[in-house]
Amino acid sequence: MLSSSTVMSPNADATTNAPDLLSSLRGVCDRHGLESLGRDLSGMSELVRSDMRDVEVFLDAMPFDDDAVRRSAGHLVARGGKRLRPMCVSLASRLGTGFDERIRDLAVAVELVHCATLLHDDVVDVGDRRRGAPTARVLYGNAASIFAGDWLLVEALRLVRRSAGGDVLERLLDRIDAMITAEAIQLDKRGRFEASEEHYFAIVDGKTAALFRWAMYAGGRGGGLAVERCEALERFGRGLGMAFQLVDDALDYEGTSAVLGKEPFADLREGKMTYPLLVAARGDADVRALLERAAKDESTAFGDEAVEIVAKGLAATDAVAVTRRLANEHVDRAIAELSGFEDGPAKRALTIVARATVLRDA
């Protein structure tokens, strides 16, 4: 399914993935009148193109044809996604001694862990669509998706064990533990729709920021940087991850299904707490009342009427813009963490990735 000779595969040309992200970011810059950022992106494209191609070549060679378990995994991995986490590993390594096979392994590993969590998430959430296609569990069943997640996790850990020092593996296990804890909190809160910022940020920290943190730490360590410097990179990763999730939340209320690969307001309809909704609840009595009702009757799915109330509340409180502003603050702080590093292409590229993450429209 992932062989590079398969014309129908979304991954058929292993070289297209990373430049796709970059082209799309460049388009965003142009539309926002940020031509100089757009020009920087062209330079960055050269820098990461070959690294990301190595990642895709490795993924393409995984035995995704063997059985339903591997096919489940392959289906998700082949859908591509943004490969933003592997790109973080690559760029962080280029702040040090640069990209090589060991770094490639770490970049692949972070994508595999990400995909493993998505496979288990889709079983848990009974998710039907992801990345514009049916989920693996729809195509191959829940059982195959559960074992596929297990498999990708184990493969990722094998790569990290063979290619990095013990602290890199240790921190990955710590981050996965944090991700599971976030899932556990979310599960315990299910059916009690709670408008709590503390709870929201705890979950984003665990579910999204954790892996970005590790990607930056692992890339830096793999590139020979000292632990202390890698901890600054880790803080960059955390800020990037928070911003990434906040923008994801914002997009749910402003995007169109063609661009997002899912219906707008899908998060709301699924009863998923998002930051714009928190802002609206804080500032709009109707939204607050709606969420209080939802918290009481243990129903976490919202219909058309609720969507309308929320849409009004979001507009009244300017919640999407507030969310994007908060994302921007996280990105500013993330970029400030890079101040101790010498100026150069990798540092500029990381800055661009962070800025563009907030500007993206998909």
Query: Which residues lie near a second copy (CB under 8 A)?
Result: 66-70, 120, 123-124, 142-144, 146-147, 149-151, 153-155, 157-158, 161-162, 166, 169-170, 173-174, 176-177, 180, 183-185, 187-188
Q: Smallest distance from the beta carbon of 271 to a second copy, in angstroms?
A: 14
Q: Smallest distance from the beta carbon of 313 to a second copy, in angstroms?
A: 30
Identify which of residues 187 and 362 has a Cβ nearer to a second copy in the complex. 187
Identify which of residues 147 and 201 has a Cβ nearer to a second copy in the complex. 147
Identify which of residues 176 and 243 has a Cβ nearer to a second copy in the complex. 176
Give bridge partners of residue 129 from the DSSP assignment.
134
- Cβ neighbour number for residue 143 with a 10 Å cutoff: 13
Identify which of residues 46 and 170 has a Cβ nearer to a second copy in the complex. 170
Contact between 313 and 287 under an 8 Å Cβ cutoff? The reply is: yes
Q: Smallest distance from the beta carbon of 75 to a second copy, in angstroms?
A: 14
- Cβ neighbour number for residue 298 with a 10 Å cutoff: 10
Q: Smallest distance from the beta carbon of 137 to a second copy, in angstroms?
A: 12
Q: Smallest distance from the beta carbon of 108 to a second copy, in angstroms?
A: 15
Q: Smallest distance from the beta carbon of 200 to a second copy, in angstroms?
A: 17
- Cβ neighbour number for residue 5 with a 10 Å cutoff: 7
- Cβ neighbour number for residue 129 with a 10 Å cutoff: 14
Gap between the Cα atoms of 76 and 130, Å rounded? 8
Identify which of residues 154 and 285 has a Cβ nearer to a second copy in the complex. 154
Identify which of residues 152 and 287 has a Cβ nearer to a second copy in the complex. 152
Task: Output DSSP code: residue 265.
Answer: T
Tokens of 136: 């693996």
Give bridge partners of residue 302 from the DSSP assignment.
none
Three-state DSSP class for residue 344: coil
Q: Smallest distance from the beta carbon of 187 to a second copy, in angstroms?
A: 6
Identify which of residues 151 and 236 has a Cβ nearer to a second copy in the complex. 151
Contact between 69 and 144 under an 8 Å Cβ cutoff? The reply is: yes
Q: Smallest distance from the beta carbon of 211 to a second copy, in angstroms?
A: 14
Instruction: Say how many CA atoms lie within 13 Å of 54 toward its Cβ.
Output: 19
Instruction: Say how many CA atoms lie within 13 Å of 263 toward its Cβ.
Output: 8
Gap between the Cα atoms of 84 and 246, Å rounded? 15
DSSP string, 159-182: HHHHHS-HHHHHHHHHHHHHHHHH
Tokens of 284: 């709009």
Identify which of residues 123 and 243 has a Cβ nearer to a second copy in the complex. 123
Contact between 247 and 322 under an 8 Å Cβ cutoff? The reply is: no
Instruction: Say how many CA atoms lie within 13 Å of 355 toward its Cβ.
Output: 18
Identify which of residues 23 and 142 has a Cβ nearer to a second copy in the complex. 142
Q: Smallest distance from the beta carbon of 9 to a second copy, in angstroms?
A: 21
**Residues contacting residue 284 through CB under 8 Å, at least 6 positions apart:** 312, 313, 316, 317
